[in-house]
């Protein structure tokens, strides 16, 4: 993605190329993304920026991860596979994921920045981390790591 194009423009362009290529699975997922974006734009009566779009994509990815977990527990691998393919397409539009080392560094920095020492400081730590990590890390895992560090 170039700096001059918005994430939404990129998604719309890829929808057109998926149509031309006859890639029904990708097209359906891209339409789900654009539908979610349009819903938020209509509700908020505003045009979304790239950061807002990343928030929507991150939420959609989280929903897919949770569904995959539930479907696999229920032995519904067919449905889990569908969710996995949607997750892979959604992930294409998210920023590059942070490595485990980068996540740990950001958590340590946020803890020292807020002088967090116990679980009651968790909200302040998450407040710093969420804008930096949204769409780039599984916030559920980040939350678990913070809890571990603050409970020691």
Q: In this model, does residue 117 exceed pLDDT 70?
A: yes
Residue 10's alpha-carbon distances to 4, 40, 93, 130, 132, in angstroms, are: 11, 18, 9, 24, 22
Give the mean model confidence (pLDDT) for residues 86-94.
93
Q: Structural domain boundaries of the chain?
A: 7-91, 100-151
Could you say which of 4.10.220.20, 3.40.50.12780, 1.10.1510.10, 1.10.10.10 is the CATH number of the domain covering 7-91?
1.10.1510.10
Determine the pLDDT at residue 27: 96
**45-54 confidence digits (pLDDT tens):** 988 888 889 8
Least confident of 8-22, 71-85, 126-140: 126-140
CATH class of 100-151: mainly alpha
The fraction of the chain above a pLDDT of 90, given in percent, is: 57
């Amino acid at each position: 993605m170039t700096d001059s194009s918005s994430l939404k423009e990129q998604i719309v362009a890829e929808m057109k190329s998926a149509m031309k290529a006859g890639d029904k699975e990708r097209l359906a997922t891209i339409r789900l993304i654009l539908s979610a974006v349009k819903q938020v734009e209509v509700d908020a009566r505003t045009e979304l920026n790239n950061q807002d779009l990343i928030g929507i994509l991150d939420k959609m990815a989280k929903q897919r991860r949770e569904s995959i977990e539930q479907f696999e527990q229920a032995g519904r691998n067919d449905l889990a596979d569908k969710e996995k393919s949607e997750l892979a397409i959604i992930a294409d539009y998210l920023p590059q994921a942070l490595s485990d080392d980068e996540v740990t560094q950001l958590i340590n920095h946020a803890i020292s920045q807020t002088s967090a020492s116990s679980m009651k400081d968790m909200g302040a730590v998450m407040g710093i981390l969420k804008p930096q990590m949204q769409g780039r890390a599984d916030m559920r895992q980040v939350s678990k790591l913070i809890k571990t560090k603050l409970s020691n």
